[in-house]
A = this chain, B = another copy of it.
Amino acid sequence: MGITKTQIFSAKQNELASTFKVLAHPARIAILQYISQQKACICNDIVDEIGLAQPTISQHLKELKSIDLIQGEIEGKKVCYCINLKKWQQIQESLNAFFDKTKFNCC
C-alpha cells in the first residue's frame, strides 16, 4: 500500500518517526554538515558542494525547513541558510530521551 497507518500510533511516535525521516537521507546529512561549517551559507554553494541538481537540493532544503531545522534568510539574490540551533538541540534531546527511556528487560 505504501501508506503508513499513522492513526494507529501515538502523536509522539509519529513525530519521532517523522524527525528521523527528515534526517534519513545522505544529502540532507551532507547539507546540514556543510551549512554548519560555513560562515555564509548560500544555496548555490551547496549545489556545487553536494553534486546534486539545483532543484533536488532545493527540495531537500524544503524538507529540512519543514521541521524548522534550518532557516533561510533572503540576502538580495541569494538565500543564507542556517541551522536553527534551538530546534537542533530540541531534537537532540528528544532523540536522547527516546534512547534513554528504552530499557532492556530481557535477554
Contact = CB atoms under 8 A, between A and B. Distances in A.
Interface string A3-36: 0111011100110111011011111111011011
Interface residues of A, number: 53
A85 interface: yes
* Chief secondary structure at chain A's binding surface: helix
B50 A30 contact: no
Interface of A: 4-6, 8-10, 13-14, 16-18, 20-21, 23-30, 32-33, 35-41, 50-52, 71, 73, 80, 82-83, 85, 88, 91-92, 95-96, 98-99, 101-107
18 contacts: A4-B25, A5-B52, A6-B26, A9-B27, A13-B29, A14-B26, A16-B29, A17-B23, A17-B29, A18-B24, A20-B23, A20-B24, A29-B98, A36-B102, A71-B107, A82-B106, A91-B99, A92-B96
